[in-house]
Structure 1
Amino acid sequence: MNPITEDDIANYLANTPDFFERHAQLLAQVQLTSPHGSRAVSLQERQAEMLRDKIKALEHRIIEMVRAGTENVVTADRLQRWTRDLLTWRDPRGLPWEIINGLHTQFMVPQTGIKLWDLDPAYADESYAQNVSDDLKALTESLTTPYVGLNSGFEAASWLNDPQQAVSLALVPLRAEPGQGAFGLLVLASPDAQRYHADMGTDFLERIAQLAAAALTRLRAA
């Protein structure tokens, strides 16, 4: 005969819920070690401790959910203000600067930059329409989603006021419509290596790109 194992006992108790009704005295006799010290506690007290731990874990989850919800509301308000500013901006020539300044002020991005191409000839002399290499255009075209990660010497970092402080980057391609060719690139940079990292989601950056690209169609060649 095979010896009875702990699993056998556990399965028996799990499948015999009335066991402790028939042997109620055992509940008072069983002594367990408390996780909060070396003292022995009764089974009922151990169960109460387990419930308190579960309640604390649930409380922490609720706090995190409330915090995340509050942050989402704040971000939505900032996005709305930034979008409103783009919609009411009357000078197409200065719109690219308004876009990156808004990203800097509304979303506390330490450094921002932008380059555009295939614009109306009226804007060809603007600094945001100059000095864009074919390699940079090819890189932008290859990005189906924003690049987020460490700065490994990207050309786009040279557009920033202080490239040496651009430790992590987000490179955000601008397209008039999904699937169309890119006509520009936004670069967001931070001295914090974890501000933009490979594991972060890019949904918010893609929304930023869609809004910026829609506003910038006013500058494009017919």
Structure 2
Amino acid sequence: MQPVPPITEDDIAQFLLNTPDFFERHAEVLAHVQLTSPHSQRAVSLQERQAELLREKIRHLELKAADMIRHGSENARIEGLLHHWTRRLLAVPNAPDLPEALQNGLLADFALPQVALRLWDLSQTHAGAPYCLGVTPAARALADSLQQPYCGPNRDFEVTQWLLPTQAAASLALLPLRTAASQPCFGLLLLASDDPLRFQNDMGTDFLQRIAELAAAALSRLRLPIGTA
């Protein structure tokens, strides 16, 4: 005769799940069930424990809703800043003034400590402009390698030489500038902060990507033949 295997907790749990009317037939069992409250470590009834679990679930949902509202408000604020910055760019009448207006707008509207911009493959009329100086093959290769903005710590990128040496750059955002996703870069926009948490690896880049696209669209006026900007 084969020995009967002992009944396990899983067996009991499965039985109760498969027999929902058990407690209807044995209601007195519920009255004697005692559980330990995780909050006070005292014994509570099953009904009290269920009420605690429900309150915890409600608190979790309230915190989640508050977090969603906070993120929604922050996104709306950034949308407003982005709108104001875009209006600044549209109001610039002369194309050669765009790089300075773009950088000053980012500094003012988004309260960024440092912004640097470099462009290449422009006509010789821009050769001596500040936004064309110090562009090395390595900088261009870095920009071309970025399919989306880079956010994270300053890993001693060569392009940080475009920033003011008197200000620290603990975290960076590197925004490649393209007229279309399939096109090579014609510039790189660098945002820097002395706060190591300002630009982090796990942060979303949606707004940064929109800044890059708007900047590229505006600065593409510099690539037009002379007299058409």
* Smaller-chain TM-score bracket: over 0.9
1:1-150 correspondence runs (5 A): 1-150=4-153
User: 1:219 Cα deviation (Å)?
Assistant: 0.8
Corresponding position of 1:153: 156
For 1:36-61, what per-residue CA distance to the aligned partner results, in whole angstroms no more than 9, with x for missing partners?
11211111111111110111011110
Match of residue 202 from structure 1: 205
- Structure 1 residues 60-69 or 172-181, which shifts more? 172-181
What TM-score, normalized by structure 2, do the two folds share?
Answer: 0.91
Instruction: Give secondary structure in 2 for the equivalent of 1:182.
Output: coil
**Secondary structure at the residue paired with 1:177?**
coil
Q: 1:146 and 1:59 mapped to 2: Cα distance?
A: 34
One-letter amino acid of the counterpart of residue 51, structure 1: L
Asked if the contact 2:134/2:162 (under 8 Å) is kept, the reply is no
The whole-number CA distance in structure 1 between the counterparts of 2:98 and 2:119 is 12
Which residue, 210, 215, 220 being the options, matches 1:217? 220
4+ residue segments displaced more than 6 Å: none
How far residue 201 of structure 1 moved from its aligned partner, in angstroms, is 2.7
* Structure 1 letter corresponding to 2:42: R
- Give the number of aligned pairs: 222
The separation in 2 between residues aligned to 1:38 and 1:177, in whole angstroms, is 62
Between the aligned partners of 1:92 and 1:159, the Cα distance in structure 2 is 22
User: Contact (CA 8 Å) 1:168, 1:196: kept in 2 or not?
Assistant: yes
What is the letter of the counterpart of residue 103 of structure 1?
Answer: L
Per the TM alignment, residue 221 of structure 1 is displaced from its structure 2 partner at its CA by: 4.8
1:164–1:153 CA distance, 2 compared to 1 (3 A): farther
Partner Cα distance (2:42, 2:74) in 1: 43
CA distance in 1, matches of 2:111, 2:5: 68
CA shift in 2, pair 1:163/1:183, >3 Å: farther
Q: 2:144 & 2:81 partners in 1: Cα distance?
A: 29
User: Which one-letter code corresponds to 2:194 in the other structure?
Assistant: P
2:175 aligned partner = 172
Mean Cα deviation higher: 136-145 or 193-202: 193-202
Deviations 1:74-119 (A, max 9, x none): 1111111111111111132221111122222222222111011122
Give the 3-state SS of the residue equivalent to 1:200 in structure 2. coil
